[in-house]
Amino acid sequence: MSIFSRREFLQVAVATAAMTGAGSLGMTRLAAQQRLTEADLLGFEPLGNVSLVHLTDIHAQIKPILFREPSVNLGIGEVSGLPPHITGEDFLKAYNIEPGTPHAYALTNVDFVSLAQSYGKLGGLDRIATVLKSIRAERGAENTLFLDGGDTWHGSYTALETKGADMVELMTALKPDAMTGHWEFTLGQDRVKELIEGLEFAFLGGNVRDTEWDEAAFESTAWFERGGVKIAVIGQAFPYTPIANPRWMIPNWSFGVREEDVQANVDKARDEGAELVVLLSHNGFDVDRKLASRVTGIDVILTGHTHDALPEPVVIGKTLLIASGSNGKFLSRIDLDVSGGEMKGWRHKLIPIFSDVITPDADMAAMIDKVRAPYEEKLNRVVGKTDSLLYRRGNFNGTFDDLICAAMLEERDAEIALSPGFRWGTSLLPGQDITEDDIFNATGMTYPATYRLPMTGQFLHEILEDVADNLFNPDPYYQQGGDMVRVGGLGYTIDIAKPIGSRISDMTLLKTGEAIDPAREYAVAGWASVNEGTEGPPIWDVVMDWVGKQGTVSLPENRAVKVVGA
């Protein structure tokens, strides 16, 4: 295996360490840009005969964004303390990344506000287009395979308004070879079929079946020849879609990990002459780690769903596990030496898409402007301002979700608010305006109704226990992704090491300091219910009304959740 992965990743960090150490975080963005170059970001020592390029979980973020990585991402059982379940300073130490460097900013939450002011935004499909064109020019399109891991047609106002059409148009221009899906399915079964029928590339989901005949709903495998190598790409859609999202939107499709089917598809591909087998997966990192330990014959798993960004592959037996982040912040490039029917070497680089450094591709920039033009005035409307850093990622709370909960408590006259532990949604720095675009980036979805219902204390306890087991079940196959449900007006203690039914204790109504009474009913507001027919105003209206009344949002530190057993 190659020893260049870490060295190449650190090229930029080492070059900038002297300038951007902890004592120099106030440097200007111009100085940062002058030090960091496009050549640094794209530099790669080629290897072998095949290049894979992976993009995943972009969540319809077509413009450059800010996205703070989590400060808390706990693993349970055998994966405790293993990547990606290390964050902050521990992450920097594990990968020998100097604090204050571009990669420290891109990959961790450490000094996020200061470094964001220095290095600016990341992502943007026009910058991604530039990187793709560079790789294809260097390696040759005939030797390059570009794969999209899904969560692509969802996550912005324009994706919601066009029912995914904007993302299909833009992604088609990037010429991916295949994709799989998850949030795509929340557009509804008919719309998904309609969009897939018009695709110029493969939509793969070998683990999705028709519920009537138990037959494959999508193709499992797409075949390619790159660098003289016969390649099988097997698609794995998010296995828990009908649980995490409304089943009624996709009534005729069933999902699952279906490990036996994955093995059967790999064996079939090998029997039919595949020299390289790639699993394009939206399982989530820990699910794919377990899958890699149990299914033989997969060379590379391109994983998605849990939004992890790792500067090196995790190697499980003979399988490379690649995590490429989210929101368009990164592309992964993996060069492979494949000969004699097997992978004999690899070289990898996680490429951060620094938008102030990478030259925008003019054609893609024009396309982005075109799809946003009808909505630009609405998207740019300033609703308020934030004095707090707004972010979503973290196992137990994010400040953007604290904002959403505060809005529901007041606007829906509730005692307790529940907000789902979604991992999508961009970040805002203190002092920034909050626009409609920003609010839709955190709320734009097809089942946005804000309900207000009576719930007993016992029922609230059951909700928290169920979500906690989804997140902290020791068996990854029972983890359905996402983070802990966010709470407003409610405090509790969680022991992540305990079994289901005994993780949650000390539930408290924060307004009075009283213990939650299992028998009492509380007025609870929430959104994104998976139940059909849920009634209430869309969450974005609730949030915009509240932010507009506040003018400037300032959120206290969230101390409502006490974590033990970590």
The mean pLDDT of 114-137, rounded to a whole number, is 98
Q: Say if residue 218's pLDDT is above 80.
A: yes
pLDDT at 4: 36
Residue 96 falls inside a structural domain: yes
* Residue 81 CB neighbour total at 10 angstroms: 11
Q: Say if residue 20's pLDDT is above 50.
A: no
The mean pLDDT of 206-213, rounded to a whole number, is 95
The mean pLDDT of 489-495, rounded to a whole number, is 98
Residue 42 falls inside a structural domain: no
Residue 43 falls inside a structural domain: no
Q: Say if residue 113's pLDDT is above 70.
A: yes
Instruction: Show the domain range for 71.
Output: 1-37+66-120
**Burial bucket for residue 340 (CB in 10 Å: 0-12, 13-18, 19+):** exposed
Model confidence at 479, pLDDT cuts 50, 70, 90, reads: confident
Q: What is the pLDDT of residues 513-554, one digit of tens each?
A: 999 999 999 999 999 999 999 999 999 999 999 999 999 999
Report the number of distinct structural domains present in the chain.
3
The mean pLDDT of 299-320, rounded to a whole number, is 97
Least-confidence region, from 74-83, 190-199, 310-319 = 74-83
Kindly state the tokens that stand for 439. 């609010």
pLDDT at 31: 59
Quote the percentage of the chain above a pLDDT of 90. Answer: 91
Least-confidence region, from 23-27, 42-46, 210-214, 527-531 = 23-27
The mean pLDDT of 435-459, rounded to a whole number, is 98
186/282 same-domain check: yes
Residues in contact with 146: Cβ distance below 8 Å, sequence separation at least 6, in sequence order: 53, 55, 132, 174, 175, 176, 177
As a whole number of angstroms, the distance between CA 377 and CA 436 comes to 10
Residue 44 falls inside a structural domain: no
pLDDT at 7: 41
181/285 same-domain check: yes
Model confidence at 480, pLDDT cuts 50, 70, 90, reads: confident
Residue 113 falls inside a structural domain: yes
The mean pLDDT of 373-380, rounded to a whole number, is 97
427/327 same-domain check: no
Q: Say if residue 201's pLDDT is above 60.
A: yes
Question: Which value, to the nearest 10 degrees, does the dihedral of the CA atoms of residues 426, 429, 433, 435 take?
Answer: 0
Q: What is the pLDDT of residues 221-235, one digit of tens each?
A: 999 999 999 999 999
144/100 same-domain check: no
Q: How far apart are the first and last CA of the chain?
A: 34
Q: What is the pLDDT of residues 263-290, one digit of tens each?
A: 999 999 999 999 999 999 999 999 999 9
Residues in contact with 485: Cβ distance below 8 Å, sequence separation at least 6, in sequence order: 418, 419, 420, 421, 463, 464, 467
556/437 same-domain check: yes
CA angle 561, 562, 566 (to 5 degrees): 120
57/98 same-domain check: no
pTM over 0.75: yes
Q: Say if residue 30's pLDDT is above 60.
A: no
pLDDT at 13: 42
Q: What is the pLDDT of residues 159-200, one digit of tens each?
A: 999 999 999 999 999 999 999 999 999 999 999 999 999 999
Q: CB–CB of 49/130 below 8 Å?
A: no
Q: CB–CB of 170/62 below 8 Å?
A: yes
Mean of pLDDT over the chain? 93
As a whole number of angstroms, the distance between CA 120 and CA 494 comes to 36
pLDDT at 35: 80
